[in-house]
Structure 1
């Protein structure tokens, strides 16, 4: 027989101890609503924030045991000041807030820093679009000063709106530390970072080939270039160009040899760049051209000779085997030009028009020149036609423009050493990437030679102006020097020391360029705490305990934070980086305006009519943010997906739905039907809490005193089992939170609250909980109360609003300890509940639940007369003794509404049972029910006959599918499995019919 251990008895007595709870500042109506409503979320966030619960001190413990965490610091990846909340923000916020709330409840001094990023390119583009849409003006029409004033106006009006929207998601951010990456304090950190790296010799300026966006008229980084594969002739719309451009074509051009009618033909996908050709290259092993190596060809437009060179890089099988070399406009040609000391000729203006190199084409758009070049070559007898050709087109991810490689003076950060240290940090496990599938990608990226020089300058107007000054004496630029300084005076002073002259003899001009936004955001983990000043916050919370962000910016941001952290602070900015996946729609498509599948999470939280959703799109189009095509596609998608609009779901439902996925997967195909399902889960939590509240109310109405547990208090088996399940859940939930597997946290909580508490424990105690005089009332109330309150605490990090509401609605036991808010409560810990774990009881109850399931299944198969309680015989194949199982007789009877139960040691033989008995097996269990007295046999026989008929029809349909044109649609394995299922079903139905027939006779 099962007995309570001393530890179990002691643990039971710990339920009711403590002090009173302070009243919530949110008014709560006295009646307990019958159903859950998302509107109940209103009011809590303001109270949390005003109460200061988001500050570090509300999580900190004064005394900690060895090994306990003392702090937890994170930063929210600063969203762009464009103020548009999308599902990616919602996912990031849900993940991070769940982890922050968990660690706060674990007693950590917790800070989670909010902020917004000035987002140089993105913000400049959105303001440009707005100015053009509303006033028909470009930024050049306004001028730099007036345009920047417009950007600051935009920032003041909408820049922090997304931070306010995060409140609706329940983000428990440390708002007192809010940052903006263009604030004076942050700008000082950015300037200091540049100056320190410049003085270390890591930042330098040189003329090099860069990715140039003609629309932005700025450089962009390699990782901001999307390579689009074009397999055949295709027309593409190019921003700023009037007509579609044909891509997927290769053109053959003839170069005449100098002073000869002989020619060499080259193939190119960009005919216009021939204006900058400075050589023709062939492979040295290509016998077709060996006699031409060393000779020259005549450039038909520049009217000069260019050499024919040999280089092993040339692929003899590509095109004609001879290639044109344009060092100023192609990365591979640039490298070849360096090997052969070729000159570089730039043919483009910053806006993508042709410069004066060839006056004939000066001022024309590069794609217009493409057509003109081919026409002129044809006139000169040098055009040899074109043909379809697959190609990879570099596209600016921000504007959709085709990227042009161009030679420009730019600022570079030499990352060779810090990239190596960042790479080794993961290899040596000083930095953990979660999931570790990112490790090989990290290794490849940081080992790539192309990452060793990071172009950090941009030719934008909005951003941190580079704190570098060109200083020279008497206007002699050839003898000038670049210095990095916080002011012009400091720059002149440093230059005077370098040049050995008086400050008064020098002039200085600051570089007009701004820094890459990823540079300024790369110092975010320490700049937010006041670096370079040695602030208390910097020493307390840096390095961060966790960096959590999307895997798609692993190199944009995470790698750069690590490199800059090493380079500027001498340590890793964090030792843990969790990377979540990209939100896609249910069809696996990335969220895109062009697909019309972008959904504002606030519309899910607040709800929105279809008409309102369409009006939002019209406003975006009016401001120039969306094109007419994008608006049309989006409206069509909305009509299909939300014909009746979007119902208000609240933040909790959205958070639960998002975190039900394994967020560490590379892609998350979000099915929005999960949101209403999460609403059903909220209502389940609400109903079981309401059930507990009614039990407390019953106690109050009856005047029952629960101030002390009687000395002879003896928990029942079902009580100790539910505590065992709670202890197991607490342990596993803590483990999953620590592993940051939030989807598994949800699975464990649903399994416990849905399965163990609601389906088993509540069903068992229903007859006890209604009467305070019932001997089972006290244990039922105490253990249910403990299960519900503990569950609310474990659910809180993911669903903060409903748990806070219920925490304040549910009565407390007389000596129960509660804090002001559930968010600063102590999270249930496994060590506190370990005394309730009883593996033997757990194992036995698992068998008992199988028996219950088997009995319920048999009763469901036969439409028993209401109120019937058939006798049961159970055989367990010697897994458990009859004596052990007999302890659970009353639990089985109550949960199945069956009659007498007999546990037998011998195997049950159907032929030995009375007529009307049915037999089933559940794994290793055999269960027999005597249904004879409780059946309408005529009615049941007709139902079984109908099912047998359907089985036969399904079998014929299956056999038909294996003939003629349908025979290859299903594999033999699938067909065999379908046959097996039908056979088993038929055998079961025939046995059922046999039993019914015997009963009738």
Structure 2
């Protein structure tokens, strides 16, 4: 016996540390490039080098790992590339905060020394997130770890920039961007966090230049009126269409503004008139370009007003707003102010309000790259769930050119130089030493590239592009991208564009979009709310497999996960169940591999049943994982292991083990077969506990389950008759147990039962399973027959047409039980009356918080269910008394 091969309790940290170390030191997940088998590849969505593991990462890593471990089991050559993103703004902010503690700013060091300090920080702290990836059990190839600013990727980024520039797809020009006055840099659309905030609509009167009246305009930002260059009305608006072509006077300033017509104007919003400020509103910028309007900038880079604004110069927008409103009111231009909630953009890093700002920047001509990426879905790349395709298409159909320059120092510096003497722009793979005019007075652009620029190249640059590598030839396009919906546009779509443009192929065949991990009440997790569940803490407390199984079991396609610590703790119990089941199996298995039998030789309905169920599990798991139905995969394994294998099969084989001889040997062979294949199938979801159990099973030559192939199908073991028979036996045993429980008969009490059989076939099944029935239902005697007469005092339950009858004479005090039931029923009915009374009260339903009303509804439903069960039991007792 080998029960001592596993410790008495499952010590997750010890087991996890051991297997993490083994897998990494032995490069278990580094694919053999010369091996046979189809290729399967995933590139990890690179976490920020500044980041810490959160539940979204934990879910993302778990799902990717399930796919990679499963595909290795299917004999494929699997590459999962790990790496991190340099996270330009985030990393620079971290280092600047560190410098501030020393009383320094980046300008005190200068660019070169500052960048050196960032690299030093990265060397010291940049491995934290990757160590947390290790903690999740991610089976990545650590020999191929990449960083978006390593030497190879930096070379690739530069080549892409130069080629796109040479092709006219990267250009420099003035454009309206998102500007952070605190970070002093442009921001991509995805780097702006929008939130609805209370504000106001300020109704301002603009006099018509001909003195015939005025137009009242509603705006949330009256301070930007200083940069107004037109007023727009909808030409279909009968109130104002006759004014198109006329002029109005800008209050406080006196500048004449053209009144233009454009159907962009929403007739229903505000007054139906729109002030147009091309320099400080993205939509107004487009109107300005369309109508050739002047662009007047009134903001400095720090968010204060420029000298051109006169008395408002140097004020912040908020300060200027107060003074402008006072002036408008004093001069009679302010009509009224109304409360109004509106969307406000904030810098995703420092939370400062972002300003639309016209600036000279570098852009990628996305409108030219987008059509091919749109056409590729779903013909070349499938998105799961399909509902996200519409969102993907909408973004590409309405795409704007991408501002890729950032006014920071950490990142890929733009490879562009300007000759100070002749103005020539030089974009080059190599650093130039002189202009073609002969001047050496050339200056490199100060800006760096948006972090997403290098990330957009991730699927092919991580595999060695622009070199023609064996990895690219073997593993590109990648098989699947697993990511969150929040970066569908800003990362997924851009990778599609770049992959198609530079590789002439899509970067991945499938995109699986997973949902958000929320708290147990469905709220988004955030530090400010205090509802964050830290995955590292959960692993330390409950074990990695418990966390992984929890996330997998709730990862239904397209549905957010409501997570609680209690659920993780619940699946730790599942780990303990597996561990204890393995220990029980080892106690009943020989030291060496059990004696082998042909599966056709295996008799006993319980053996044939569990072997048949195992075949169903193999097929169902195949279908669930390949279809990205991860929650179904977890539920399949949970039901099979806990309910069928542990609760039933391990109990069913105890008489076999006691019997000894060939009967015990056959039971050992089936037990060994099911346990070891069950570990392989479960391994992708729960890698650590399965690895440890597998390694101590007798007769296993390969001690590392991570390199074991998926068990082959055995069609001969599929046995619908055995499953039907066991289903009948199980339901009959449950029927006896239920009657015992309902009537408060002690579980250990042995009974005699009668089974009024519906057919000769059913009778034969019961006869074959008699020993099992007696053992698991604790029966002294079972009488079978079609015409058995039930005793007067008895309880019965019909199972698939067969009546299971339990004589109760001497077992139950009917008067006492009925009295207890009457008392319990009275309490339940009283509580139910109170709950239903509340719900009939319109005042309560209409005025109480929705959550309280729902809770009361749930309580009423539960009480009603309890009432019905008690009434049913009461009837059973009355019927049993005759």
Structure 2 length normalisation: TM-score?
0.91
Change in Cα spacing, 1:962 to 1:690, as seen in structure 2 (3 Å) is closer
State the 1:774 CA deviation.
Answer: 4.2
> Equivalent residue for 2:6?
32
State the 1:713 CA deviation.
Answer: 5.9
Change in Cα spacing, 1:975 to 1:876, as seen in structure 2 (3 Å) is farther
Show the 5 A alignment for 1:11-30.
none
State the 1:591 CA deviation.
Answer: 1.8
Q: Distance in 2 between matches of 1:281 and 1:39?
A: 66
> Equivalent residue for 1:822?
705
State the 1:544 CA deviation.
Answer: 0.7
Residue 927 of structure 1 aligns to a residue whose secondary structure is: strand
Q: Distance in 2 between matches of 1:372 and 1:840?
A: 86
Q: Distance in 1 between matches of 2:283 and 2:492?
A: 29
> Equivalent residue for 2:576?
683
Q: Distance in 1 between matches of 2:400 and 2:65?
A: 35
- Check if 1:488 corresponds to 2:431: yes
- Check if 1:584 corresponds to 2:543: no
> Equivalent residue for 2:694?
807
> Equivalent residue for 1:674?
567
Change in Cα spacing, 1:288 to 1:845, as seen in structure 2 (3 Å) is closer
Change in Cα spacing, 1:685 to 1:289, as seen in structure 2 (3 Å) is closer
Residue 328 of structure 1 aligns to a residue whose secondary structure is: coil
> Equivalent residue for 1:694?
587
Residue 32 of structure 2 aligns to a residue whose secondary structure is: helix
Change in Cα spacing, 1:929 to 1:774, as seen in structure 2 (3 Å) is farther
Indicate conservation of the 8 Å contact 2:419/2:439, yes or no.
no
- Check if 1:365 corresponds to 2:316: yes
Indicate conservation of the 8 Å contact 2:605/2:726, yes or no.
no
> Equivalent residue for 1:217?
184
- Check if 1:101 corresponds to 2:69: yes
Residue 545 of structure 1 aligns to a residue whose secondary structure is: strand
Residue 432 of structure 2 aligns to a residue whose secondary structure is: helix
Structure 1 length normalisation: TM-score?
0.81
Counterpart of 1:659 (choices 549, 552, 556) is 552
List per-residue Cα deviations over 1:924-972 (Å, max 9, x = no partner): 442112333xx3443x541332022211332344345555885556999
Show the 5 A alignment for 1:409-558.
409-428=360-379, 430-448=380-398, 451-471=399-419, 475-477=421-423, 480=424, 482-489=425-432, 492=435, 496=436, 503-504=437-438, 508-558=442-492
Counterpart of 1:195 (choices 142, 158, 162) is 162
Residue 227 of structure 1 aligns to a residue whose secondary structure is: strand
Q: Distance in 1 between matches of 2:636 and 2:599?
A: 34
List per-residue Cα deviations over 1:653-691 (Å, max 9, x = no partner): 111121111253342221111111111111111111101
Change in Cα spacing, 1:228 to 1:484, as seen in structure 2 (3 Å) is same
Q: Distance in 1 between matches of 2:438 and 2:766?
A: 99
Indicate conservation of the 8 Å contact 2:146/2:462, yes or no.
yes
State the 1:285 CA deviation.
Answer: 5.9
Q: Distance in 2 between matches of 1:849 and 1:39?
A: 38
- Check if 1:402 corresponds to 2:283: no
Indicate conservation of the 8 Å contact 2:82/2:145, yes or no.
yes
> Equivalent residue for 1:117?
85
Change in Cα spacing, 1:131 to 1:849, as seen in structure 2 (3 Å) is same
Change in Cα spacing, 1:706 to 1:538, as seen in structure 2 (3 Å) is closer
Show the 5 A alignment for 1:252-271.
252-256=203-207, 264-271=215-222
Indicate conservation of the 8 Å contact 2:3/2:583, yes or no.
no
> Equivalent residue for 1:127?
95
State the 1:465 CA deviation.
Answer: 1.1
Change in Cα spacing, 1:345 to 1:540, as seen in structure 2 (3 Å) is same
Q: Distance in 2 between matches of 1:984 and 1:591?
A: 39
List per-residue Cα deviations over 1:599-627 (Å, max 9, x = no partner): 33222222xxxxxxxxxxxxxxxxxxxxx
State the 1:140 CA deviation.
Answer: 4.2
Q: Distance in 1 between matches of 2:593 and 2:462?
A: 54
List per-residue Cα deviations over 1:510-538 (Å, max 9, x = no partner): 22221111111010000001101001111
> Equivalent residue for 1:614?
none
Q: Distance in 2 between matches of 1:714 and 1:112?
A: 42
State the 1:452 CA deviation.
Answer: 4.4
Unaligned 5+ segments in structure 2 are 846-852
State the 1:819 CA deviation.
Answer: 1.1
Change in Cα spacing, 1:76 to 1:317, as seen in structure 2 (3 Å) is closer
Change in Cα spacing, 1:187 to 1:490, as seen in structure 2 (3 Å) is farther
Residue 751 of structure 2 aligns to a residue whose secondary structure is: coil
State the 1:404 CA deviation.
Answer: 1.6
Change in Cα spacing, 1:807 to 1:139, as seen in structure 2 (3 Å) is same
Counterpart of 1:650 (choices 539, 543, 560) is 543
State the 1:317 CA deviation.
Answer: 5.0
> Equivalent residue for 2:818?
944
List per-residue Cα deviations over 1:321-365 (Å, max 9, x = no partner): 443221111223223323332211111111111112223222222
Q: Distance in 2 between matches of 1:78 and 1:582?
A: 18
Indicate conservation of the 8 Å contact 1:265/1:320, yes or no.
yes
> Equivalent residue for 1:729?
617
List per-residue Cα deviations over 1:75-127 (Å, max 9, x = no partner): 11111110422122211111111221111222211111111100112212222
Q: Distance in 2 between matches of 1:227 and 1:142?
A: 34
Report the RMSD for the aligned CA atoms in angstroms: 3.1
Q: Distance in 2 between matches of 1:714 and 1:809?
A: 25
Change in Cα spacing, 1:546 to 1:557, as seen in structure 2 (3 Å) is same
Q: Distance in 1 between matches of 2:682 and 2:861?
A: 44
Counterpart of 1:356 (choices 300, 307, 317) is 307
State the 1:897 CA deviation.
Answer: 2.3
Name the count of aligned residue pairs. Answer: 869
State the 1:131 CA deviation.
Answer: 3.1
Change in Cα spacing, 1:416 to 1:724, as seen in structure 2 (3 Å) is same
> Equivalent residue for 2:32?
57
Indicate conservation of the 8 Å contact 1:101/1:823, yes or no.
yes
Change in Cα spacing, 1:879 to 1:282, as seen in structure 2 (3 Å) is farther
Counterpart of 1:339 (choices 271, 274, 290) is 290
Show the 5 A alignment for 1:768-917.
768-770=656-658, 773-812=660-699, 817-829=700-712, 831=713, 833-864=714-745, 868-875=749-756, 877-878=758-759, 880-905=761-786, 912-917=789-794
> Equivalent residue for 2:23?
48
Residue 551 of structure 2 aligns to a residue whose secondary structure is: helix
Show the 5 A alignment for 1:52-91.
52-57=27-32, 62=36, 70-91=38-59
Indicate conservation of the 8 Å contact 2:43/2:80, yes or no.
yes
Residue 56 of structure 1 aligns to a residue whose secondary structure is: coil
Indicate conservation of the 8 Å contact 1:941/1:993, yes or no.
no
State the 1:417 CA deviation.
Answer: 4.2
Indicate conservation of the 8 Å contact 1:148/1:462, yes or no.
yes
Q: Distance in 2 between matches of 1:879 and 1:455?
A: 79
> Equivalent residue for 1:754?
642
Q: Bigger CA drift: 717-726 or 869-878?
A: 869-878
Residue 526 of structure 1 aligns to a residue whose secondary structure is: helix
> Equivalent residue for 1:635?
none
- Check if 1:177 corresponds to 2:64: no
Indicate conservation of the 8 Å contact 2:171/2:364, yes or no.
yes
State the 1:871 CA deviation.
Answer: 3.1
